A and B are shown apart, each in its own frame.
Chain A
Amino acid sequence: MLEIKNLVVRIEDKQILNGLNLTVNDGEVAAIMGPNGSGKSTLSYVIAGKEDYEVLDGEILLDGQNILEMGADERAAAGVFLAFQYPLEIPGVGTMTFLKACLNAQRRARGESELSTPDFIRKVNGAADTLEINKEMLKRALNVGFSGGEKKRMEILQMALLEPKFCVLDETDSGLDIDALRIVSEGVNALRAQGRSFLVITHYQRLLNYIVPDVVHVMSQGRIVKSGGKELALELEASGYAEYRANEAA
């Protein structure tokens, strides 16, 4: 599904990713854990196509195609989805208008026909019910006045509607209470399927109780330094990141 080879990335004068290699297989849920400043969020932005980052070397292959050549919108149409750590508020842009514009832009880019309004509304309502999203929220401007938990649920709603191939969840658990964490996780789990993979970025093992990963990677200093099964997350929870910080110091 996704293969990252020797990715070297800089922002301004600071090199953040230092030859990162990572493979996420079809249908797999991969977790990335790591201390603050290890480059996790940078990795998510670079996959999604944020322009502030300078890719010095390496490639990111989605089903064999190097997506580094593509704009953020083209990557989205190709099936990349980033659930933002801090979803942005966009005053004046109605949530439904936004959702429909995104869905149809992606469909157009893929040469598919646009969704009819009744089909679109049915789809949104279905996804909103699953995520326990109040219909009143859908009538408001995108994310404006939403609580942290509501914003994260809105991210997962977008993911459910857009049906991406490769989903990056950037610290989706941050700012969520236990109930919201459960709802969001159930929303994600419902989308787990063959043909769709997830990269779940988190500081804490807690999220991985809800979204159980197939594989856990540890990131430090802009590289994957250790990979293992889901038990690796439990080990990290117990021992902390000291071992990896020690490596950093060395």
Chain B
Amino acid sequence: MADIANLRTSAETGLSALFESARKGFASEDKISREEAFRFFEAVGLPSRRVEAFKYTDLRAAMQEASAPAEAPSLEAARAAVAGATGFAGLDAVRLTFVNGHLVRELSDLDRVPAGVTVTPLNDALSAGHALLADLAPVVQARDNPIYQLNTAFLADGAVIAVEAGAKVGQPLHLRFVGTQGEAFSTATRVLVSLADEAELTLFESHEGPDGIAYQPNDAVDVTVGARAALRHTRLNEEGDKAIALSTISVRLADAAHLETVNLVTGAVLSRHQIYLHFAGEAVTVVVNGAAMLGDGMLADSTLLADHAAVGGVSREMFKTVIDGEATGVFQGKIIVRQAAQKTDGKMKSDCLLLSDAGQMMNKPELEIFADDVACGHGATCGAPDDDLLFYLMARGLPRPVAESLLVQAFVGEAVEAVTHEGARDALIGAIEGWLAARG
């Protein structure tokens, strides 16, 4: 064990060098504890399969080299990248555009933010000492996570979105992340979303980038939801086919707050989406769904931690994974119910549809329950499309690929149906149909 320092991988050494050079550019007085975060990361290194939380997603093996943090792109390059972006395109929304992890103000709707909402670019918020920065890292467990710490250490850009008390914002906000062609790069963005009491917001988040480049986005969204406030969040990962895409959403919920978050993965050779929830207030309701459509060589990891710390929380988690070719799906879900969190009602489910013999699905559900009056459960299933259902559809004239696609859509559709915003739901269904069409 004493020799751990000698076993640093090329990527880890690279990250240290990159941090040394990046730190010179960071303002020393801002509220981000980059140094502390990087030292934390350096001490644990890139997590390998020996680390329980990364048992099925060996980042140490997958990330062979560390890519340098992306410079802010030229406006011309940013425009070119955004021109081809399709995620939630066509939906009426106020857009914040990030290209290679940098907020491009010229391509964002900062001047037409809806009433009741203020959007401050993260770097402005840092230099001004924005009061809401106190809400960064709202869930304590995320602070022990190397991906999140790496995001903190290299944090380059982002935004602070504040919704004032009682504001029911009708127009969605869209965080649009796009990558450019060319050299591989890494990003570290943080968007802080703060909903005051009784506020409501619909948030879209799309991630796209070029194929053929091993770029490494690391995006984090920190959220606080006030009493009786509601956030509806729909996320679409359509990253390029060589990307290693790491992401974290951390949400702290006050009394009777509501969260709906649905993530669809069709992109990235390796993705890990981490969801940290802290049920701080009573009678919080949460819907967390995920769907992943995986082709040959892909790995998609959804890792969830739901910490019920107060009475009467209700959580519903449904994850659907479709695996084609030699791909791997990972679901890790942990529900903690603290002693104070009586009457908690938590249900977690992970289902996998295997379209090939070579695919594999790893499920790790965990329940840690310290209260005695709770209803918590989890379940996992894995199987091929049902032959009898296929025959029924084919006997009505549907060719096998069409029948199979219909069953796949029905399977993942259950997770996507939870999206309240009709346009966002249709966008996810469109992405699923696109995946099926490309599969042929």
Q: Interface on A for B, CB 8 Å cutoff? A: 48-52, 71-73, 75-77, 81-82, 84, 87-88, 90-93, 98, 101-103, 105-106, 109, 141, 158, 162
Contacts and interface: CB of A to CB of B under 8 A. Distances in A.
A102 B397 contact: yes
B44 to A, nearest CB: 42
Interface stretch (B59-67, B98-106, B305-313, B404-412): B404-412
Contact of A92 (B393, B399, B403, B414): B414
Nearest to B408: A92
Given A76-B396, A76-B397, A92 B402 contact: no
A12 B387 CA distance: 16
13 contacts: A48-B391, A50-B391, A50-B395, A51-B387, A71-B400, A73-B395, A73-B403, A76-B396, A90-B393, A90-B410, A91-B414, A93-B407, A105-B402
Contacts, number: 76
B392 A105 contact: no
A88 B389 contact: yes
B395 A92 contact: no
B126 interface: no
B411 A90 contact: no
Interface of B: 387-389, 391-400, 402-403, 406-407, 409-411, 413-414
A106 B395 contact: no
Q: Which 8 A-B pairs have the closest CB atoms?
A: A92-B410, A76-B397, A106-B397, A72-B394, A102-B396, A73-B394, A92-B413, A105-B397
A55 B361 CA distance: 37
A73 B398 contact: yes
Given A81-B395, A90-B392, 20 more contacts: A49-B391, A51-B387, A72-B394, A72-B395, A73-B395, A73-B400, A76-B395, A84-B392, A87-B392, A88-B392, A92-B409, A92-B414, A98-B393, A98-B396, A101-B398, A101-B406, A105-B402, A109-B397, A141-B410, A158-B396
A106 B394 CA distance: 10
Given A90-B389, A90-B410, A92-B414, A105 B395 contact: no
A109 B414 CA distance: 30
Nearest to B394: A72
B391 A105 contact: no
Nearest to B414: A92
Contact of A49 (B389, B395, B399, B414): B395
A141 B399 CA distance: 20
Nearest to A97: B406
